[in-house]
């Protein structure tokens, strides 16, 4: 999967929900901090944020793609914001360039929730390889099904080691 996703690491986990949770924990995000995400997603995205004591901050979707609207992200960033979770839906890629630019400018992590878009590409890059971490689910209602399971992808040695330890 690492080769396919064009990442150095692909770490198998119990579920897509665990992929999100372990990614947030691996980045050290916790109590009192904020994570930006779209409201149009499975509850596990926001639930993982709440579970670690952080606050989900919702940014509306682009009505044409149903993905987070990058134009609305920066206005929601505060001094407590630590990450952005774009959710790629229906095999469609979120417009990542503006998100990555804002994340770099504001020193934020980008965790791609690609549970509903395995195999999708943005230009020449595979989803799950564009942000700091990619999260996948193989649950029975997803695009790529094994019945259960999840995957975390990254090119960052430190993040991979932390997630593997957890």
pLDDT (tens digit per residue) in 84-122: 999 988 777 889 999 999 999 999 999 999 877 655 667
Confidence of residue 79 (pLDDT cuts 50, 70, 90): very high
d(CA 141, CA 154): 24
pLDDT value, residue 120: 60
Confidence of residue 150 (pLDDT cuts 50, 70, 90): confident
| Pair 113, 93: CB distance under 8 Å | no
pLDDT value, residue 103: 97
pLDDT value, residue 153: 95
Share of the chain above pLDDT 90, in %: 64
Does residue 162 have a pLDDT over 50? yes
76, 125, 142, 162: the active-site residue: 142
Does residue 147 have a pLDDT over 70? no
142 flagged as catalytic: yes
């Amino acid at each position: 999967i690492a080769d396919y996703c064009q990442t150095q690491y692909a770490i198998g986990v119990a579920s897509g929900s665990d992929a999100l949770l372990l990614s947030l924990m691996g980045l050290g995000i916790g109590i009192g901090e904020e994570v930006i995400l779209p409201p149009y997603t499975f509850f596990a995205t926001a639930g993982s944020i709440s579970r670690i004591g952080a606050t989900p901050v919702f940014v509306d979707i682009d009505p044409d793609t149903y993905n987070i609207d990058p134009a609305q992200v920066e206005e929601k960033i505060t001094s407590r914001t630590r990450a952005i979770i774009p959710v790629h839906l229906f095999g469609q890629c979120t417009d990542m360039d503006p998100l990555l630019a804002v994340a770099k400018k504001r020193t934020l992590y980008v965790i791609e929730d690609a549970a509903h878009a395995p195999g999708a590409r943005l230009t020449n890059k595979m989803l799950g390889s564009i942000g700091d971490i990619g999260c996948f689910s193989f649950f029975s209602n997803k695009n790529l099904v094994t019945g259960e399971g999840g995957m975390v992808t990254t090119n960052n040695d430190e993040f991979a080691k932390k997630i593997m330890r957890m």
